[in-house]
Amino acid sequence: SASEAIPELDVLIVGAGFGAFSTLHKLRQQGLNVKVYEKGSASGGIWYWNQYPGARVDSADTPIYQLFEPELYKDFTFRERYAGWKELKRYFNHVEKTWDIVKDVEYNKNVESATWDESRHQWLVECADGSETYCRWFIPAIGFAAKRYTPPIKGMGEFKGDLYHTAVWPQWGVNLKKKRIAVIGTGASGIQTIQEIGKDASHLTIYQRTPNYCLPMNQKMLDEAEEQKKKEAGEYEKAHKKCYTTFAGFTYDFSEKNTFDDTPEEREAFFHKLLIEEGGFHYWLNTYKDMLFDEKANDEAYNYWRNSVLKRVPDSKKAELLAPKNKPHPWGTKRPSLEQNFYEVVSLPHVDIVDLQTSPIEEINETGIKTKDGQVDVDIIILATGFDAVTGSLAQLNIRDTDGKSIKERWADGTRTSMGIAITKFPNLFFLYGPQAPTAFSNGPTCVQVQAEWIDKVLKRLNQDGITRFDAKEEAMKDWQRRMNEKWDNSLFPKAKSWYQGANIPGKKVEPLNWAGGMPAYIETLNKSVENNYQDWNTNAK
Ligand code: NA7
C-alpha cells in the first residue's frame, strides 16, 4: 500500500537548535530512532536566522549559555563572556561533530503540517517538499521566536533602497559602511544592530517607539587556560547544577531583601554593584525581590538606572528620549538589552533618534521614511521589529488535534497548555521553549535541558509500560492556567506593552505567555505530573 512507502520514526524533532540537539542526543541513547527536520540549511536555530550585525548572547554569560554536558565543554571554550553569532556557529559545529549529529538531521526540510493517526498512535507529518513521515513522538523544538513580525507600514514596497529584517538577515552579510541607514525598533535586535553599525554609517536614524532600559553587558575576553582550569576544578559543573535551582535558571537569584529593607546608602551601593560591577542581568534578576512587584520599589530601580544613562548621554534631548523622567513602564517589565557602547554610539553627532510617540511613521516611500516631523532619505532600512513571540512559532504550523482543530484555532480565545510542554488532544506531542514554560524568563539552555531531560525520562518509562498514547488531561491544563495567571497578576508585568504578554502584535490577545513562577517550581510540576500512575495524563495503559 501507499503508506508502506512513508518512512516511520520513533521521534521527529523540528528545528536544529539547542533544544533539538539536547533531545536528539538523549533519545538516541535510549535506542529510539530519532530525526531532526530543519527548515534552514545549517544548525543553530535562532542563531542561524538572526545573523544581523552585532547579534550576540545578551542574557546568560559563559559558562551557562551552552549545553551542560562535560563531553561538550571539555574541548570547547568560548572566547567571549557573551558569545557572538559567529562563535555560536563554531559551537554548533563542535556539538555536531562531538555527537555525530548531522547524520540525523535533514536540512532544508520545512515541516508544515501534522495530523494524528488514531489507528497507529502516530503523527503523520508533512513537509513543504511534499514528503510525509510517520512518528510516534512529535517534538517541535522551534522556540519562541520563529515567526518574525513586520508591521504593516504604508508604502513599504515603494522603497527603492534595500530593506532587511534582523530575523532573516542574509547569510552573505550586507555592506553597511558609509551608508544612510534607518533602524526601526529598539528591542534587543535593534540595540545590538545600532551599537554595531552606528559608528561607520554616514548617517543613522533610530525610530524609537519605547526606550529600552539597557544594562551594561560588561563583556570581556576569556582566557582559554583560565577557563580550562575552571573546568578541571569543577566550576562549570557547579554553575550548571546551580541553574536548576534558581528562578531564571541562571547562577544567581533574587535577593532575600526588599528594596526598603536597606537604607538609601546601602541601596545605592547594592545597585552600583549589580549594575556597574556585575553587569548583565544582575540588575534584573539578582536584585531586591520586590522590584518586579512593588511600584515604589520599582521607582528606585528605575531612577538609579536612569541616572546611570544620563551620565553617558551628554545631549539632554537624546537623554530624555532614552531614559525619560516619567517612566513609560515599570523597570524590568520589558526585556532589557545588554549593551556595550550603545549610549556612546547614540550620542554621536551623525546619529538621530526619532520619537515615534510624538512623530509616528506616516509612510515609507521611494527614498526613505516620512514621519510627522518630516522626511528622512536613506539607503537602507533595517526592521528590528521583533516577533510574533512565544505562541507565533507553534501556531504557524498546521498541526491538527484529535478533533481536527489547529493550534491556532485552539488558542484563538487564549493560549492553553499543560506545563508549557503539551496540549490536550495533541497526544504524543511535546514542544520545547514555547508558551507557558519559563521560556522568556529563563536561560534558554537551562529551560530546554530541563524539558529534554523530562521527555527522556518519560519516554523511557512509557516504553517500559507499553504506553503508546499519552495526552495531557484537561484539568491539568486548567490548573496550569490558574497558576500562570496567579503569578502574573501579582507582578508589575501586566503594566508593559510587551511581547511577554503578546501586546507587541496588534490584535493579539494580551495574556501571560511565560511561566513566571521560576525554574524549580517548573521542574517540580513536570515531575509531579507523572507520579501516581501519570496523574496529569491520559494514557492507553491497560
Ligand atoms: P522586540 O524586543 O519585540 O523589539 C521590537 C522593537 O520594534 C520594539 O522596540 C518595538 O517597539 C518596535 N516596533 C514594533 N512594531 C513597531 C511599529 N509598528 N513601529 C515602530 N516600532 C515598532 O524584538 P527583538 O528582535 O529586538 O528581540 C526579541 C527577543 O529576541 C529579545 O528580547 C531577546 O530575548 C531575543 P515597542 O517596544 O513595542 O514600542
Q: How far is the CA of 188 from the centre of ligand 1 (A)?
A: 7
- Rounded to whole angstroms, the Cα distance separating 49 from 46 reads 6
Cβ neighbours of residue 482 closer than 8 Å, sequence gap 6 or more = none
Q: Quote the CA–CA distance of 360 and 151 in Å, as a whole number.
A: 13
Q: What's the rounded Cα separation, in Å, for the pair 95 and 72?
A: 7
Atom of ligand 1 nearest to the CA of 166: 25
Helix axes 18-29, 85-99, angle to 10 degrees: 10
Per-residue pLDDT at 3 exceeds 60: no
Ligand 1 geometric centre to CA of 486 (Å): 26
Give the integer Cα–Cα distance in Å for 34 and 66: 22
pLDDT tens digit sequence for 347-374: 999 999 999 999 999 999 999 999 999 9
Joined together, the cell numbers standing for residue 358 give: 510624538
Which pLDDT tens digit goes with each residue over 88-106? 999 999 999 999 999 999 9
CA of 385 to the centre of ligand 1 (A): 4
Decide if 334 contacts 347 (C-beta within 8 A): no
ipTM of the complex: 0.99
Residue 4: pLDDT band (50, 70, 90) is low
Instruction: Give residue 403's pLDDT band: very low, low, confident or very high (50, 70, 90).
Output: very high
Q: What is the DSSP letter of 509?
A: P
- Any residues with CB less than 8 A from the CB of 443 and at least 6 apart, and which? 59, 60, 64, 65, 243, 248, 249, 250
pLDDT class of 542 with cuts at 50, 70, 90:
confident
Give residue-wise pLDDT tens across range 191-206: 999 999 999 999 999 9
**What per-residue confidence (pLDDT) applies to 528?**
98
CA of 198 to the centre of ligand 1 (A): 18
Confidence category of residue 171, pLDDT binned at 50, 70, 90: confident
**Is the per-residue pLDDT at 145 higher than 60?**
yes
Which residue owns the Cα nearest ligand 1 atom 18? 151
pLDDT band at 2 (very low <50, low <70, confident <90, very high): low
281-296 pLDDT per residue, tens: 999 999 999 999 999 9
pLDDT digits (tens, 9 = 90+) for 288-331: 999 999 999 999 999 999 999 999 999 999 999 999 999 999 99
- C-alpha separations of 531 from 43, 73, 458, 525, 534 in Å: 36, 34, 11, 10, 5
By DSSP bridging, strand 132-140 and strand 8-14 are: parallel
Q: Does the bond joining 435 to the residue before it have cis omega, within 30 degrees of 0?
A: no
Closest CA to 21 of 5, 39, 45: 45
Pick from 225, 145, 168: which is nearest to 504 by CA? 145
Q: What is 388-455 written as a DSSP string?
A: STTTHHHHTSEEB-TTS-BHHHHTTT----BTTTB-TT-TTB--SS-TTSSGGGS-HHHHHHHHHHHH
Q: Is the CB of 336 under 6 A from ligand 1?
A: no
pLDDT at residue 83 greater than cutoff 80 = yes
Pairing state between β 537-539 and 338-339: unpaired
- Between the CA of 355 and the centroid of ligand 1 the distance, in Å, is 15
pLDDT range class, residue 342, cuts 50, 70, 90: very high
pLDDT tens readout for residues 34-69: 999 999 999 999 999 999 999 999 999 999 999 999
Q: How confident is the model at residue 336 (pLDDT cuts 50, 70, 90)?
A: very high
* Distance of CA 214 from the midpoint of ligand 1 (Å): 13
Would you say residue 1 has pLDDT above 80? no
d(CA 193, CA 213): 16
C-alpha cell at 493: 508585568
3-state secondary structure of 377: strand
Helix (H) or strand (E) holding 21: helix 18-29
- Residue whose CB lies within 8 A of the most ligand 1 atoms, among 47, 342, 369, 385, for a mutation test: 385
Look at strands 374-377 and 368-371 and give their pairing: antiparallel
Cβ 391 vs Cβ 411: under 8 Å: yes
Mean per-residue pLDDT, 228-249: 98
Output the residue whose Cα is nearest ligand 1's atom 35: 188
